[in-house]
Amino acid sequence: MKEYILILSVLLFSACPARAAEEKWLTTGSRHFLIYYRQAPEGLLERVSRQSEEYYTRITEALGFTRYNFWLGGNRARIYIYDSAEEYRKYSGQPVWSYGCVFIPDKKICSFSQGWDTFSSVLAHEIGHIIFHECLEMEKGSLPLWLDEGVACYAENPARCREASVFLKAAHHKGGVLTFDQLAAFIPAAAGEESIRIFYAESSSVVGYLFEKFGRDNFADFCEEFKRGRDLDKALRSAYGLAGSADLEKSWRRYLGIL
Ligand SMILES: [Zn+2]
């Protein structure tokens, strides 16, 4: 079994992740992104610039989102690249396990120079969060964390959702899978590393299941309904014909073979 690797990042709604006053940034840009950096190598900047544009298009399409508000000019998303993990954590105030963070209202993403695979995953994940919040026209509040993280993991790579399902089947035999009530009440800051791993895996697996079984158009319908009514059970009924969260849990467990 392929190891289920977790790249943790932090979702922020009320604090600026980059304390610009304490640092001097250089900038470069692309059509939809401004990139702030200090000593990041040119090769990395070119890759970030190219890849973020690809994600902007791919994730918008993957979520079935029809965009009217484009990230142009002063509305571009901003990516801050610190030179090291230490510097990132010091200035962004993030914990030692964090590889990146996103400040949703300002479309700000922070991370640091690191291996390209990890950096690229962080980038896709955080862009996924921003786009999903745009789909729902929501900054915070009634959006369940598991749904937010599951969609960001799907945006990162749908194959990660399938890996998560394989990981969970093994975890289930050890009694480790969360009920949906536990999933809905989960607070990562208060949990241990293994529980966090289960939480992310389960969130990804459930969202991956919704896409695999019902497709992108139904997901877009689900977003529309959820945006209108802010009622998860109602949106699940309307877009997927499910009776609500409990029915989703049953249907997902059956799909995983752990009912
Ligand atoms: Zn996330």
Rounded to 5 degrees, φ, ψ at 187 are -125, 105
Global pTM value: 0.93
Q: Between residues 29 and 95, which one has the greater pLDDT?
A: 29
What is the CA(147)–ligand 1 centre distance, in A? 10
The pLDDT score that the predictor gives to residue 94 is 85
What is the CA(141)–ligand 1 centre distance, in A? 16
Closest to 154 (Cα-Cα) out of 132, 134, 171, 138: 132
Residue pair 183/195 in contact by the 8 Å Cβ criterion: no
Q: What is the mean pLDDT of residues 6-35?
A: 75
Domains parsed from the chain with CATH numbers: 9-136 (3.40.30.160), 145-256 (no CATH)
Q: Per the structure block, which two tokens stand in for 35?
A: 């990139």
Q: Residues 183-231: pLDDT tens digits?
A: 999 998 888 888 999 999 999 999 999 999 999 999 999 999 999 998 9
What is the CA(145)–ligand 1 centre distance, in A? 9
Over the range 47-80, which residues count as b (16 or more CB within 10 Å of their CB) and which as e? Answer: ebbebbeebbeebbebbbbeeeeebeeeebbbbb
Residue pair 130/104 in contact by the 8 Å Cβ criterion: yes
What is the CA(148)–ligand 1 centre distance, in A? 7
What is the CA(151)–ligand 1 centre distance, in A? 9
Q: What is the mean pLDDT of residues 20-43?
A: 88
1 pLDDT exceeds 50?
no
Residues lining ligand 1 (ion), CB within 5 A?
9, 149, 152
What is the CA(225)–ligand 1 centre distance, in A? 23
> In whole angstroms, what is the distance from residue 186 CA to residue 191 CA?
8
Q: Residues 124-173: pLDDT tens digits?
A: 999 999 999 999 987 666 689 999 999 999 999 999 999 999 999 999 98
The pLDDT score that the predictor gives to residue 140 is 62
- Helix then strand count (H, E) for the chain reads 10, 6
What is the CA(258)–ligand 1 centre distance, in A? 26
**Secondary structure (3-state) at 42:** helix
What is the CA(184)–ligand 1 centre distance, in A? 15
Residue pair 3/168 in contact by the 8 Å Cβ criterion: no
